[in-house]
Amino acid sequence: MIRSLTLVRLVSREKFEQLSSLLRALGFEEGKGWKDEHSRGAPMLAPVGSLELVEGRNPAEPDILIEVSDLDTAHSIARKFLPNATLDITDTHWKSRVFAVQLDGNLRVGFWAFNDPQRSEPAATVGNLSAAGMRFGIVVSRWNSFITERLLQGALDCLRRSGAASKDIQIVRVPGSFEIPSAARMLAETGNVDAIITLGCLIRGETTHYEHIATEVTRGIGQSAQETGVPHSYGVLTCENLEQAIDRAGLKSGNKGWEAAQTAIEMVSLKGKLKRSASDGG
C-alpha cells in the first residue's frame, strides 16, 4: 500500500539553504533531513499530497503545484526572498490564482489558492431535510402532557412540512419519560420505522429522583439507537422548572419537538447516503 509520495529535485549547493528557508517561511513543515559524504536532503512536508492525472487542458504550467491558505501573504514572502524574480499572480481557468517561482534550474513551483477558500475543504457527507417517503415513530410521554403535547405538535408540524405523509407517522404514548427507551426499542425492532423521535419532559423541581431518571432515559435512548441501528432523536426536556419547560416547548427557545423531528429527518437521510456510499465502494 502507498505510504507517501516524494518528489526529488536537485538544487545547487548555494541555493540549498536559501530555498529551504523560503519553503519553511511559506509554511512547509521541516521533515527529518539527511546527510552523507556526497549530498544532503531537506524534506519539506505538506499536510496533503496527491499525484494528479489530467486529460485536456493543463491546469498550470509548473508541474509542482503547492496550495496555500493565503496567496497574497505567500506572494509577499516569496518577493522578500527573491526580490529580483518575476512573480506575477495570474488567474487560472479553475477559479483560483497562481504565481510561479523558478526556485532553481529545474525547480519551478506554482503557488496557488482557490478564490473561494471553502472549496479547499474536504467534501462532507450531510443529510438533507426532505422527509418524503420516510417512516417515523414518535414516542411521547403523558407525564407533563401540557408540555409534551406541544412538543408532539411541533414534531408533527416539522414532519408534515418536510414532506412526510401522515400514514408514515406512528405515534406511541407511554406513561412517563422513564418508559421512553423501552418503547423506542420495541418500535425500532418492528422494522416499520426509519427513525424514532423521543419526546418527554422532566422537571427537576417536581421530581425527587430527577437525576436518576434523566440519566437513565438519556442512556437508554442512546443505547437503543446504537443497538438497533435506527436513528433516535432526543426531544426529552430536562428542565429546572415549569417556566423553562414552557420556553422550550414553543415559546422563547423554539420548540424542541420540532428540532428533534428535523434531526430525525437529517439522520435518516445521512444513513441512506452513508449506506449508498459504502455499497458504491466509498
Catalytic residues: 209
Closer of 75 and 256 to ligand DLZ (Cβ): 256
Q: Which residue has the cell 489558492?
A: 113
In the bound complex, what is the minimum distance in angstroms from residue 200's beta carbon to ligand DLZ? Answer: 5
**Euclidean distance between CA atoms 199 and 111, whole angstroms:** 53
Q: Which of 170, 207, 223, 228 binds ligand DLZ (CB under 6 A)?
A: 207
Question: Count of residues binding ligand DLZ (CB under 6 A)?
Answer: 15
Listed in order, strand segments (DSSP E) in the chain are 29-30, 34-35, 40-41, 44-45, 64-67, 90-91, 96-104, 107-114, 136-141, 169-174, 195-203, 232-239
At its nearest, how many Å lie between ligand DLZ and the CB of residue 153? 17
Taking the CA atoms of residue 15, residue 18, residue 20 and residue 21 in that order, the dihedral angle to the nearest 10 degrees is: 180
Shortest distance in whole angstroms from residue 260 CB to ligand DLZ: 15
b/e for 104-140, b at 16 or more Cβ within 10 A?
beebebbbbbbeeeeeeeeeeeebeeebeebbbbbbb
213 belongs to the binding site for ligand DLZ (CB under 6 A): yes
Q: According to the binding rule CB under 6 A, does residue 141 interact with ligand DLZ? A: yes
Nearer to ligand DLZ, 138 or 268 (CB): 138
C-beta closer to ligand DLZ: residue 66 or 140: 140
Alpha-carbon distance 104 to 252, whole Å?
65
Neighbouring CB atoms inside 10 A of 26's CB total: 19
Interface of this chain with ligand DLZ, residues 146 to 205, rule: CB under 6 A: 175-179, 200-203
- By CB under 6 A, tell whether 144 contacts ligand DLZ: yes
Binding mask 227-246 for ligand DLZ (x = CB under 6 A): --------------------
Q: Residues interacting with ligand DLZ, by CB under 6 A?
A: 141, 143-144, 175-179, 200-203, 206-207, 213
